[in-house]
Amino acid sequence: MTGGRLKIGVFDSGFGGLTVLRALLPLLPQADFLYLGDTARLPYGSKSRATIVRYALSSTRFLLDQGADFLVIACNTATALALTEIHESTPVPVLGVIETGANEARGSSKTGDILVIGTDATIGSHAYAAACAERGLRTLEKACPLLVPLVEEGWVDHPVTAEVVRIYLTELLQQAQEEELDPDTLVLGCTHYPLLRPMMEAALSPAIRVIDSAQATANQAARMLGAHVLPGGVRTFCECRFFATDSVAKFQNLGARFLGSAIDQVELVDLGG
Amino acid sequence: MTGGRLKIGVFDSGFGGLTVLRALLPLLPQADFLYLGDTARLPYGSKSRATIVRYALSSTRFLLDQGADFLVIACNTATALALTEIHESTPVPVLGVIETGANEARGSSKTGDILVIGTDATIGSHAYAAACAERGLRTLEKACPLLVPLVEEGWVDHPVTAEVVRIYLTELLQQAQEEELDPDTLVLGCTHYPLLRPMMEAALSPAIRVIDSAQATANQAARMLGAHVLPGGVRTFCECRFFATDSVAKFQNLGARFLGSAIDQVELVDLGG
């Protein structure tokens, strides 16, 4: 801690974790933030567990070296496949996006049946299913690998994206019916997906509530750190430093879309990849 | 060379280069092949020049260490951004996919106006435009970043993919008209795209010929190595070794789609990424 201010390290493979940072900023005005996007090695979502663990450990080590007092793993894939290893290698508290999403699902669901969508690696790990099962919930999971590229192409309001969302969700709901589930909650298990939330809500019955794991994580971090939620929309005076392992220009351009505001400065980092 | 047999090293960031290997096999039965897919660090197409150069040099160094006598850079992005550096660091001959695609375009085009599609990084480098300009051709280039994820999702016959192809090609043809070009050739500047060739031909007027840089590269390699083209479809007895930097299971599954035949064995390699 510098001058008594808490330093929160937020880590993602790329830009999606900026939706978590965006949700954190108004909740924790008394903290400073370090954000690392491991953009030279993204996406993690299509890679193997061993590779993801290696990348996640070198990334979180960097944030600790920069003085982080608290780590938020704002990447579903890294949380799903490497949270245990990160916990073991880290002296500071660590919060991942999956437990927080599962907690929110438990609070929200009346039927106890939850749908989860995410990347190949997140879904293949069944980390959401395990976290939901621990909370007495049944889960049906589906990988939606085209949604990240569609968001990164900027097609967040595009009819092709709406059609892809419709196809994925229809397949998921059909499978739920075949397995005689009665889902009332959909967890967005990828930090890119909040940008497609309106499309998803349009493709679903209003009986299904959409849970954004980015917002759920920010809420839980604020509770853990004893902060009080400020009235909505109040701007804060947090200091944010942004680090990326690949092009800082691209980080500024694409990142602004996820953060919802301009990113003035990004520092290039070499993690040896 | 082992026992007088030429060893050809084929390098790609992932699986797409297997379309080049597939085209090489029947043309060079007297050679053995080493294929490296740098799957732990893919895709290259969305990354910066400095990062791509670093990845490409460590990958080609690996193939040289394995005894390659000739290198085929079967990755448009690596060719576009790192071919000079690869040439400078390599004692053996190197062939990249871009010159070969441009040569084929020169041979094919009557109007001298060429369309090129590829990844963000390939198109952003303007390597095709430069190679075509050297050959007296005018070029209009367009990045199509959704096509690789659609191919990797296996949606090669899917109506969504047909719609995305139609959108990209319509935008490209409109721009050609605005710039008063009269294109008669489309170069597929990405080794994933041959799997979408039928869709592209369906979306284009028959007056536009589609050139597959994978096939063009194989043809030029065979000419350089003094081989004689065998009658189409003859199987060969080449020995192929496959290396990947991430999951070998995924390489086998997805790779078979690009190679057009099963991949029995893949060796895992750590390039320190």
Which of A193, A213, A233 is the C-terminal boundary of a domain?
A213
pLDDT at A14 over 70: yes
Structure tokens at B30: 């007297």
- When pLDDT is averaged across residues B46-63 and rounded to a whole number, the result is 94
User: What is each CA distance from A224 to A1, A35, A221, A233, B223, in whole angstroms?
Assistant: 17, 19, 5, 21, 67
* Residue B148 and residue B172 in contact, taking contact as beta carbons nearer than 8 Å: no
pLDDT at A234 over 50: no
Question: How many structural domains compose chain A?
Answer: 2
State residue B259 phi and psi, 5-degree precision.
-75, -25
CA A79, CA A177: separation in Å to the nearest integer?
29
CA B175, CA B141: separation in Å to the nearest integer?
10
Q: Which chain B residues are Cβ-neighbours of A245 within 8 angstroms?
A: 51
For chain A, what is the mean pLDDT? 92
**For residue A113, what pLDDT band results from cuts at 50, 70 and 90?**
very high
Q: CB burial class (10 A; 0-12, 13-18, 19+) of residue A205?
A: exposed
Which of A173, A197, A213 is the C-terminal boundary of a domain?
A213
Domain assignment present for B76: yes
Domain assignment present for A149: yes
Is A92 in the same domain as A103? no
Q: Angle at Cα A81 formed by Cα B242 and Cα B264, nearest 5°? A: 20
CA B98, CA B141: separation in Å to the nearest integer?
13
User: What is each CA distance from A133 to A125, B77, B269, in whole angstroms?
Assistant: 14, 44, 36
Domain assignment present for A67: yes
Smallest Cα distance from B38 to chain A, Å: 11
Note the pLDDT of residue B68. 97
Domain assignment present for B181: yes
Q: Which chain A residues are Cβ-neighbours of B41 within 8 angstroms?
A: 40-41, 273
Is B92 in the same domain as B190? no
Note the pLDDT of residue A46. 81
pLDDT at A45 over 90: no
Say whether A238 is catalytic: no
User: What is each CA distance from B243 to B8, B15, B22, B56, in whole angstroms?
Assistant: 13, 11, 16, 15
- When pLDDT is averaged across residues A68-79 and rounded to a whole number, the result is 96
SS3 content of chain A, % helix, strand, coil (to 5): 45, 20, 35
Note the pLDDT of residue A273. 61
Give the CATH number for residue A203.
3.40.50.1860
Is A113 in the same domain as A198? yes
ipTM of the complex: 0.84
**For residue B43, what pLDDT band results from cuts at 50, 70 and 90?**
confident
Residue B36: strand, helix, or coil: strand
Domain assignment present for A118: yes
**For residue A43, what pLDDT band results from cuts at 50, 70 and 90?**
confident
Is B73 in the same domain as B113? no
DSSP strand E in chain A: where? 6-12, 31-37, 70-73, 94-96, 113-118, 138-143, 185-188, 209-212, 240-244, 266-268
* Residue A83 and residue A73 in contact, taking contact as beta carbons nearer than 8 Å: yes
Which of B172, B193, B213 is the C-terminal boundary of a domain?
B213
For chain B, what is the mean pLDDT? 92
Note the pLDDT of residue B233. 46
The two beta strands, A6-12 and B209-212, are unpaired
Instruction: Name every residue whose Cβ is closer than 8 Å to that of residue B68 and which is 6 or more positions away in sequence.
Output: B7, B8, B9, B34, B92
Domain assignment present for B273: no
Q: Which domain holds residue A236?
A: 6-96+217-268
A152–B145 CB contact, under 8 Å = yes
Is A88 in the same domain as A16? yes
Smallest Cα distance from B153 to chain A, Å: 7
pLDDT at A232 over 80: no
Is A42 in the same domain as A134? no
Q: Which chain B residues are Cβ-neighbours of A244 within 8 angstroms?
A: none
Q: Which residue's structure tokens are 């070029």?
A: B139
Q: Which residues of B are catalytic?
A: 75, 190
Is B92 in the same domain as B221? yes
Is A104 in the same domain as A184? yes
pLDDT at B231 over 50: no
Domain assignment present for B1: no
Is A256 in the same domain as A167? no
Is B104 in the same domain as B187? yes
Is B143 in the same domain as B169? yes
* Residue A141 and residue A186 in contact, taking contact as beta carbons nearer than 8 Å: no
Note the pLDDT of residue B237. 65
Is B90 in the same domain as B162? no
**DSSP secondary-structure letter at A233?**
T
Residue of A132, A144, A190, A240 marked active site: A190
Note the pLDDT of residue A53. 96
Torsion of CA B81, A44, A257, A267, to 10 degrees: -60
Note the pLDDT of residue A121. 87
Domain assignment present for A263: yes
Facing residue for B273 by CB, picked from A167, A246, A273: A273
**For residue B169, what pLDDT band results from cuts at 50, 70 and 90?**
very high
